[in-house]
Amino acid sequence: MSDSLNCDVLIVGGGPAGLSVASHLADGISSIVVHQDAEIGRPVRTSGGSFLRDVRALGIPSDLYQVIDQLDFFADHEQASFCIENDKMVVLEITGLYRYLAALSDPLDRKLLLGTKFLSTQKQQDGLYLSQVRSRAKGTQTVRSKYIVDASGWHSAVLDSLGLGHKPERMGVGIEYEFPRGNFAPNRAVLFVGATALTGYGWIFPTVGNTLRLGIGVINPDTDLSPRQVMNHFVQDGHAARYGIEIPEDYEVNAGIIPSVPYESKLVYDTIIRTGDAANFASPTVGEGIRMAIEQGRHLGRDLSAFINGDKTAFTRYETRAAKKYARDYKYGYLMNQRIAGYTPDRWDQAVRRLARLSEREVTQMLRSNFSAGLILRTLYLSLRSKFFG
C-alpha cells in the first residue's frame, strides 16, 4: 500500500531535538514528524542527566526532574564527594519530558507519524524532496517536502540516505537498569569508573518517580565489550553494595547510543539541516545532551521559519551560533574523552584523587564540557602534581 503526504518541513526523529524544532516553527508552516517508536518517550534511550539552571531556562516543568545536589565519584580505590550548591544537576523524567515537548506543537500544523521508519529520500528537479517512510499500519508512504530536518540521532538517516554524511565510527553505547529507589538518597548521584566500566563510566541516578537508574556506558570500538557484558560483571561481582544499592530480580532495561566523534560545524546542506545527536550536540566528556538538543532544536525552528519567510541569512546564523557555543569546548572535551577512554584502573584512581582537589565549580564545568583557560591550567597543574608528588 502506498499513499502521499505533503508538508513544508519533514522532521525525521521524535526525540527532544525534532520535537523542539516542530514546536518553534512559525504559524502557517506545516510539518510532519516521523518517529520510529510507537510512543513518544518510550522506550527510554537516555539517562536524563542535565543541569537545573538550564532546564529552568528552557521552561521545563519542575515535576519532570529530580534535583541533585550531592555528587560522588568512585574509582576502584578512591572516592571524591561534592556538595553542589550553585550549579545543581537534575535527572529528567524522560517519557514525561518528551511528551511535554510534543504537546508544545499540538496547536500548530504538525502531524506525528509514530511507529514509522524513515527509509530514503531523493531531491526532485523542482527542489522538493520525495521521502519514503514505512509503518505497519500504513505500509509505505511518500512524504513530499521542501525542507528536511535530520533529527534521527546517531543514525544520521537523512544525510546517510543522500550521501551527505554517515553514521559515526565511534559511539558511546549504554545500558541502564531502572528499579525502585529504596533507601538511596533522592538528591544523590554517583558516577563510577575503573575496572567496572573501562573506556566509559557508570552512573546511579535517582528519578522523580522514586526509581533508580543504574547504568554503564562504554566507547565502541575503543573496547570490544558491550555494555551488557560489563553490566553483567558488575552485577555478578556484587559491586552494587559499595554504593548502597540492591538490584532486584525485576527491573526495566533502558539502552541508548550517542555519537562520540569530533564536532563538525557544517549543519546545513542546502535545504537539509541536522540537529540533536545527528549534529553532535552533546557534551563529549559525559555524553549529556538533552538540554542542548532542546535549545538548538528551538533555535532551528525559529531560524528555519525565518529562512522560509525570506531571511536568507538564517541558516548561516544557525550554524554560526552553534559553532560559537560548542566548537572550542568540544575540541578539548573530545581530547579528554579519547584520553580517559584508555585509562587503566590505576590511572582512574589517580584521576579521582586529582578530581577531589577541584572546586565544586570546576567539577560542574568539566561535566558541562566548559573548558575555560583557568580550568585547563588547573587540571594540567593537578596532573603534573600527581605525576611527580603523588
Q: Is residue 380 very low, low, confident or very high in pLDDT (cuts 50, 70, 90)?
A: very low
Residue 22 falls inside a structural domain = yes
Residue 106 falls inside a structural domain = yes
Go through 44-54 and write b for each residue having 16 or more CB atoms within 10 A of its CB, e for each that does not. bbbbbbbbbeb
Residue 85 falls inside a structural domain = no
Residue 73 falls inside a structural domain = no
State which residues form the domain around 320. Answer: 2-42+96-168+264-333
Q: CATH no. for residue 32?
A: 3.50.50.60
Residue 192 falls inside a structural domain = no
Residue 205 falls inside a structural domain = no
Residue 2: the pLDDT is: 52
3-class secondary-structure state, position 42: strand
State the burial class of residue 388 (Cβ atoms within 10 Å of its Cβ: 0-12, 13-18, 19+). Answer: exposed
DSSP H or E stretch at residue 144: strand 139-145
Residue 314 falls inside a structural domain = yes
Residue 376: the pLDDT is: 46
Q: 170-187 pLDDT, tens per residue?
A: 999 999 999 999 999 999
- Check residue 64 and report its DSSP letter: G
State the burial class of residue 325 (Cβ atoms within 10 Å of its Cβ: 0-12, 13-18, 19+). Answer: middle
- Alpha-carbon distance 7 to 10, whole Å? 7
Domains contained in the chain, number: 1
Q: 5-43 pLDDT, tens per residue?
A: 999 999 999 999 999 999 999 999 999 999 999 999 999
Q: 298-333 pLDDT, tens per residue?
A: 999 999 999 999 999 999 999 999 999 998 888 888
Mean pLDDT of the 83-101 span:
95
Residue 141 falls inside a structural domain = yes
Cell 511528551 belongs to 99
Question: What would the grid cell of residue 21 be?
Answer: 524544532
